[in-house]
């Protein structure tokens, strides 16, 4: 009797669970409603694919146009939208030897994919001009009065504060990085200057500024930052998208696998400033290089992933910049001329009517050298070939084949499969006067340089007065153009051993729409961990779903009823999340395409953001849910039929049992 009553209670519970009243509304869905849901899902998928196709079509057109103007000065770049809350900012101050410059950068919200880098670009004001400001003198001038450094640099920071939205100040990182001018100071003076900055700036400004954000960087760091900057602008850190892109096989440094992978070919850089010259390019894992000439770093946000690990050879040569080389040259001819005059009893260079004939100056120009209270008079002969020959000993080359300037080791360069960009003096020498910036051709450059050197100074001056040269070319450039052209030629071909028929050097001031500075590489490297912050948001969603699954597992032991309801709820939750995520990515995709019209940054083969893979997963999940609903519907009908039969048996059997009990 007791057993029968217990069975009856369980049966009634079961019937109430699967009855139309107690059952969730979704389980009562008829076939017509399921078909309507399927049609709506198909319509959403079709809309999504249409957006993807349109985006790919116009994205490819924009990339093609972008490659046709890689060295042009672009004037139609849009101003940075400071009202957009999804735009982030960063500031870098370049404290050089002659002055300090501040650069304000911005980037859209990261897409959350740890395989992608931030899309950093220079901020542009309302007039679409880059937000950059320069002041003089250099910060090293305050070596004896470090307490004045904060006042010296405040105009730069005030300038940045006016352009960065006030609400973004506290999350905007500020980096003050000092270069050559500070390196020559004693360590005690360097420390005093940095301490003044670290003490006063946080009081005056709300920027994100910690102790590690102000430092004196080495020449090696500066070279690495410059290499990162140019390759980032060129898109060489992106995934391979087109079959016609130049690729190389590399073995990833630090990877456990020894198999080579295909990766975009990175570009090397050549930078000749006033004091020093630098070269930097990627070297394979198999090439052994001294540690002081090698930089191995990870640009990715995850230190455990080696996708963005690079090995770069970096060499800096002090005294090999254009101005420093001219000073060394003048010192030598002065010393040699004085010695010859003493031995031979001549008066060369001691009077204007007996000048020293300098082959590295334009024809008939007059110049002077002042040393130790003495004056030596020069007159140019404009002999480019003789000038090159005179400059060759200054390379300090050795007889060894794998050496460059000063006998420093240089890893082999695969000239047939390489690309280099020349900045600063490489660009000024080819463009300011000769108007040949861009693709470098040794034969054409040599002819133009010869013609310039052999032209009388009076004619060159007349052309200058008529405005036939670049707007930023001055008389100092015209006077030493012949020397610097010969010096650049010798450094490139003799010092770094590039063949005269090398066709893959581009001299540039801007690449695509950006003036490439090492500061761009610096902020890209120093903010590389920021994508982890955006990744945590996606991780939180997964954590919530795992918690929900854990609840289901705990209640699963109470029977199949709870598990079915929770499984269905979890499935609907995932469907809703997928739908929201789809709408979010479509909207954000369009927004970021508009923001980054000149530099598309979406990866066609990224595992997370492959549109076809994402859509396929969405359809599979949707189909699984529909099949599960059909199965539950069949179980529901079968249970109702079984429940009706059991109820009938009870109605007929209970009276008989009661009579038997009374007897």
| CA distance readout (Å), 596 to 108, 132, 528, 569 | 9, 20, 19, 39
521 forms bridges with which residues in the sheet? none
The question of whether 593 is a catalytic residue gets the answer: no
Q: What angle do CA 66, 437, 502 make, to 5 degrees?
A: 95
d(CA 485, CA 179): 26
Measured between its terminal Cα atoms, the distance across the chain in Å is 14
d(CA 643, CA 37): 30
| 274 among annotated binding-site residues | yes
| 277 among annotated binding-site residues | yes
DSSP state of 240: P
Helix/strand/coil percent split, the chain, to 5: 50, 15, 30
Strands 100-108 and 132-135: antiparallel
Of the candidates 400, 319, 390, the residue with the CA atom closest to the CA atom of residue 361: 390
HEC assignment per residue over 142-206: HCCCHHHHHHHHHHHHHHHHHHCCHHHHHHCEEEEEECHHHHCCCHHHHHHHHHHHHHHHHHHCC
Of the candidates 285, 231, 251, the residue with the CA atom closest to the CA atom of residue 117: 231
| 527 among annotated binding-site residues | no
| 275 among annotated binding-site residues | yes
In 454-556, alpha helices (H): 457-465, 475-490, 518-526, 531-555
Token reading at 353: 């009517």
Q: CA dihedral defined by 630, 635, 639, 641, rounded to 10 degrees? A: 60
DSSP state letters, 432-453: TTT---EE--HHHHHHHHHHHH
Instruction: Report cis status (omega within 30 of 0) of the bond before 48.
Output: no
Which one of the listed residues 222, 238, 282, 490 is annotated catalytic? 222
| 164 among annotated binding-site residues | no
Residue listed under structure tokens 């581009």: 506
Token reading at 388: 């090159």
d(CA 195, CA 199): 6
d(CA 507, CA 439): 7
So which residues are the catalytic ones?
222
The annotated binding site for ATP is made up of: 274-278
Binding positions: 274-278
């Amino acid at each position: 009797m007791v057993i029968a009553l217990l069975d009856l209670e369980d049966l009634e519970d079961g019937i109430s669970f699967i009855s139309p009243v107690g059952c969730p509304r979704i389980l009562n869905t008829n076939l017509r409603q399921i078909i309507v849901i399927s049609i709506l899902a198909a319509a959403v998928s079709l809309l999504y694919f249409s957006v993807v196709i349109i985006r790919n079509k116009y994205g490819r057109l924009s990339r093609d146009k972008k490659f046709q103007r890689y060295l042009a000065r672009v004037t139609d770049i849009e101003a940075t939208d400071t009202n957009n809350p999804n735009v982030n900012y960063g500031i870098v101050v370049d404290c050089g030897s002659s002055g300090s410059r501040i650069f304000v950068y911005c980037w859209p919200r990261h897409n959350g994919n740890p395989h992608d880098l931030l899309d950093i670009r220079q901020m542009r004001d309302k007039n679409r001009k880059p937000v950059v400001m320069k002041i003089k003198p250099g910060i090293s001038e305050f070596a004896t009065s470090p307490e004045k450094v904060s006042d010296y640099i405040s105009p730069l920071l005030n300038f940045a504060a006016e352009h960065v939205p006030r609400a973004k100040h506290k999350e905007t990182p500020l980096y003050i990085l000092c270069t050559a001018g500070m390196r020559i100071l004693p360590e005690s003076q360097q420390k005093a200057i940095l301490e003044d900055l670290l003490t006063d700036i946080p009081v005056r400004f709300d920027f994100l500024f910690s102790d590690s954000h102000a430092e004196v960087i080495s020449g090696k760091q500066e070279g690495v930052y410059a290499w990162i900057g140019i390759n980032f602008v060129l898109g060489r850190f992106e995934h391979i998208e087109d079959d016609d892109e130049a690729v190389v096989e590399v073995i990833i440094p630090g990877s456990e696998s020894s198999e080579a992978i295909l990766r975009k070919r990175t570009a090397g850089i050549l930078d000749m400033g006033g004091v020093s010259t630098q070269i930097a390019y990627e070297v394979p894992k198999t090439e052994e290089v001294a540690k002081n000439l090698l930089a191995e770093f990870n640009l990715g946000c995850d230190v455990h992933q080696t996708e963005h690990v690079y090995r770069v050879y970096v060499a800096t040569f002090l005294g090999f910049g254009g101005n420093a080389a001219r000073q060394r040259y003048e010192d030598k001819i002065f010393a040699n001329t004085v010695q010859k005059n003493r031995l031979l009893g001549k008066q060369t260079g001691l009077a204007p009517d007996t000048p020293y004939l300098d082959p590295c100056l334009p024809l008939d120009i007059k110049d002077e050298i002042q040393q130790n209270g003495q004056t030596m008079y020069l007159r140019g002969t404009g002999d480019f070939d003789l000038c090159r020959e005179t400059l060759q000993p200054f390379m300090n080359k050795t007889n060894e084949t794998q050496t460059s300037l000063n006998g420093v080791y240089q890893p082999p360069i695969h000239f047939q499969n390489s690309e280099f960009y020349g900045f600063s003096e490489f660009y000024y020498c080819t463009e300011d006067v000769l108007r040949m910036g861009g693709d470098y051709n040794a034969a054409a450059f040599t002819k133009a340089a010869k013609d310039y050197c052999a032209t009388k100074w009076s004619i060159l001056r007349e052309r200058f007065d008529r405005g036939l040269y670049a707007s930023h070319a001055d008389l100092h450039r015209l006077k030493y153009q012949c020397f610097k052209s010969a010096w650049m030629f010798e450094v490139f071909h003799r010092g770094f051993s590039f063949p005269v028929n090398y066709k893959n050097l581009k001299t540039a001031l801007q690449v695509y729409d950006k003036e490439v500075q090492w500061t761009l590489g610096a902020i890209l490297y120093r903010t590389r961990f920021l994508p982890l912050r955006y990744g945590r948001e996606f991780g939180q969603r997964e954590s919530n779903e795992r918690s929900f699954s854990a609840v289901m597992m705990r209640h699963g032991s109470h029977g199949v009823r709870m598990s079915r309801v929770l499984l269905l709820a979890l499935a609907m939750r995932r469907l809703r999340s997928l739908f929201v995520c789809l709408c979010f990515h479509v909207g954000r995709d369009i927004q970021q395409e508009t923001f980054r019209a000149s530099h598309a940054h979406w990866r066609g083969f990224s595992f997370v953001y492959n549109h076809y893979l994402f859509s396929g997963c969405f359809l599979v999940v949707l189909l699984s849910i529909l099949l599960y609903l059909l199965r539950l519907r069949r179980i529901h009908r079968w249970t109702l039929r079984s429940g009706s039969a059991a109820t009938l048996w009870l109605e007929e059997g209970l009276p008989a049992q009661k009579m038997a009990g009374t007897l």
